[in-house]
Amino acid sequence: MTLDHPNRSSDIEKKIVESFSKYARSYDRYALLQRSMAERLASFLPQKPPPHIIELGCGTGVFTRHLLTMPLKNLTLNDISPEMIKILKARLSTPGNTKFLVGNAEKITLEMADLICANAVFQWFENPLETLTGLKSSLNKKGSILFSTFGPETLMEFRQAANIVSPTTLYTIKQWKNFIKDTGFVLRSFDMEKRKIFSPSAMNLIKNLQQIGAAPIRMFNAGGLRKLIRDYDKHFSTDQGVYATWELYYFSITC
User: pLDDT by residue (tens digit) across 148-181?
Assistant: 999 999 888 877 777 665 556 899 999 999 999 9
Distance CA 201, CA 181 (A): 41
CB 64 within 8 A of CB 146: no
Task: Calculate mean pLDDT across residues 53-66.
Answer: 96
Q: Would you state the pLDDT for residue 72?
A: 95
Measure Cα distances from 82 to 87, 99, 185 in Å.
9, 13, 31
Q: Which of 78, 140, 148, 63 is nearest to 108 (CA)?
A: 78
Q: What is the mean pLDDT of residues 188-198?
A: 93
**Most confidently modeled of 84-93, 156-165, 213-222, 239-248?**
84-93
Average pLDDT of the chain is: 84
CATH of region 10-153+167-196+246-254, choose from 3.40.50.150, 2.60.40.10, 3.40.50.970, 3.40.50.2300: 3.40.50.150
pTM: 0.84
Domain boundaries, given as residue ranges, for the chain:
10-153+167-196+246-254
Q: Is residue 2 over pLDDT 90?
A: no
| Cα–Cα distance for residue pair 238/243, rounded to 1 Å | 8
Q: Is 200 exposed, middle or buried (0-12, 13-18, 19+ CB in 10 A)?
A: exposed
Looking at residues 67-85, what average pLDDT do you find?
94
The confidence score (pLDDT) of residue 229 equals 80
Percentage of the chain beyond pLDDT 70 is 79
Question: Which pLDDT score, from 0 to 100, does residue 28 have?
Answer: 57
